[in-house]
C-alpha cells in the first residue's frame, strides 16, 4: 500500500513548485526578504518587531521551498528556549513542534510533546489540520481525533482545512471552492465576496490539489493576482490594499504558485 506523504512535507514540496515559475534572481530576492525578517535572537518577526514562533515556521518553510539555506544554529538558539511548550497556546505549540522536529529529539522529549499535543482538544477542522501537522513532526501516523464535517458555508481557509483533513471523494467540495474564485484572480474568503486575499487563495488551491481538481480555468488569473501582491522588498502582501508584506504571506504566495505549476 502506498504511504501518503506527510502533510507538512506536502505543503513544502508543493510550495517548492514555485521555483519553476520564478527565475533564480527572483528566488534570491524572495529568500533575502525572508532572511531580512530574522531577529538577533534567531526567530523571525511578522508585522511587529518581536520574534514569533508562528512567523518563524513560515520563514523556515519558505526558505526550504526556495531551496535556500536555513540558518539552523540561530534557529536552534531561538527554538530551544521554549522547552517542550507546556505554557504555549495550541497554535504556538504546533509551531514549536514543527520547528523542533527539524533537530534531533530524544524519545523523552518526543513523548512530552505528544502529551502536550494530546491534551489539547480539536474544536474545529482547522485544529485537526494543525494537529496533523504536529503529528507529522512527531512521526505520528494518525492522531486519535474524531473527524469534523465539511461545512460549505465556512470561510475559505476553514473550508479548505476541512477538505484537506477529510478528503471527501465527491465533487461538491471542489465546486464549493471554485465558486469562490474571483474573476480578477485569486479566491475570496466567502462566496458572498468578490475580493481575493492570499490566505484564501493558497488554502483553496492546496485543497483543490488535494482533491485532484482541474485548475485550468483559474490558473492565469490566480498567477496574475499573486504577482500583483509582490512588493519591491521581495516579500508578498496579503491583499491588494495591504501595505505590509511578511513571511507568512510570502509562503502563501509560494504555495499558491506551486499549486498552479503542478
pLDDT at 125 over 80: yes
Q: What is the mean pLDDT of residues 214-223?
A: 96
Beta strands in 12-107 (DSSP E): none
Percent of the chain with pLDDT over 90: 75
Q: 200 or 139: which carries more pLDDT confidence?
A: 200
Q: CB-based contacts of 88: which residues, under 8 Å, 6+ apart? A: 53, 82, 96
Local confidence band at 257 (pLDDT 50, 70, 90 cut-offs)? very high
Task: Give pTM, 2 decimals.
Answer: 0.94
pLDDT for 98 equals: 95
Q: CB-based contacts of 33: which residues, under 8 Å, 6+ apart? A: 233, 234, 235, 245, 247, 250
Q: 151 or 145: which carries more pLDDT confidence?
A: 151
Q: What is the pLDDT of residues 59-96, one digit of tens each?
A: 999 999 999 999 999 999 999 999 999 899 999 999 99
Closest of 106, 54, 104, 55 to residue 76, by C-alpha: 104
pLDDT at 230 over 80: yes
Q: 143 or 86: which carries more pLDDT confidence?
A: 86
Residues paired with 197 in a beta bridge: 187
Residues paired with 187 in a beta bridge: 181, 197
Closest of 169, 159, 148, 143 to residue 207, by C-alpha: 159
Percent of the chain with pLDDT over 70: 94
pLDDT for 142 equals: 54
Mean pLDDT of the chain: 91
Which grid coordinates belong to 102? 527539524
Q: 32 or 143: which carries more pLDDT confidence?
A: 32
pLDDT at 144 over 90: no
Q: What is the pLDDT of residues 170-185, one digit of tens each?
A: 789 999 999 999 999 9
The residue extents of the domains of the chain are 7-261
pLDDT for 123 equals: 81
Looking at mean pLDDT, say which of 8-12, 83-87, 222-226 comes out highest. Answer: 222-226
Which grid coordinates belong to 255? 504555495
Q: What is the mean pLDDT of residues 234-242?
A: 95
pLDDT for 146 equals: 54
pLDDT at 140 over 80: no
Which H or E element spans position 137?
helix 125-137
Local confidence band at 121 (pLDDT 50, 70, 90 cut-offs)? confident
Amino acid at each position: 500500500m502506498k504511504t501518503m506523504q506527510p502533510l507538512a512535507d506536502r505543503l513544502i514540496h508543493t510550495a517548492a513548485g514555485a521555483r519553476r515559475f520564478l527565475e533564480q534572481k527572483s528566488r534570491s530576492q524572495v529568500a533575502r526578504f525572508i532572511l531580512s525578517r530574522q531577529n538577533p535572537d534567531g526567530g523571525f518577526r511578522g508585522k511587529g518587531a518581536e520574534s514569533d514562533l508562528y512567523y518563524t515556521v513560515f520563514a523556515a518553510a519558505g526558505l526550504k521551498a526556495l531551496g535556500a539555506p536555513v540558518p539552523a544554529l540561530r534557529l536552534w538558539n531561538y527554538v530551544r528556549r521554549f522547552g517542550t511548550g507546556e505554557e504555549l497556546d495550541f497554535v504556538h505549540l504546533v509551531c514549536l513542534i514543527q520547528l523542533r522536529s527539524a533537530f534531533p529529539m530524544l524519545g523523552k522529549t518526543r513523548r512530552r510533546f505528544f502529551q502536550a499535543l494530546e491534551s489539547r482538544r480539536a474544536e474545529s477542522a482547522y485544529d485537526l489540520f494543525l494537529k496533523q501537522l504536529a503529528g507529522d513532526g512527531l512521526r505520528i501516523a494518525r492522531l486519535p481525533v474524531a473527524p469534523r464535517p465539511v461545512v460549505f458555508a465556512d470561510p475559505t481557509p476553514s473550508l479548505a482545512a476541512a477538505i484537506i483533513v477529510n478528503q471527501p471523494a465527491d465533487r461538491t467540495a471542489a465546486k464549493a471552492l471554485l465558486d469562490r474564485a474571483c474573476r480578477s484572480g485569486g479566491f475570496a474568503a466567502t462566496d458572498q465576496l468578490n475580493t481575493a486575499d492570499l490566505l484564501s487563495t493558497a488554502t483553496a488551491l492546496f485543497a483543490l490539489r488535494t482533491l485532484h481538481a482541474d485548475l485550468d480555468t483559474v490558473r492565469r488569473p490566480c498567477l496574475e493576482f499573486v504577482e500583483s501582491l509582490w512588493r519591491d522588498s521581495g516579500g508578498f502582501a496579503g491583499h491588494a490594499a495591504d501595505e505590509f508584506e511578511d513571511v507568512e504571506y510570502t509562503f502563501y504566495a509560494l504555495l499558491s504558485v506551486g499549486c498552479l505549476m503542478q
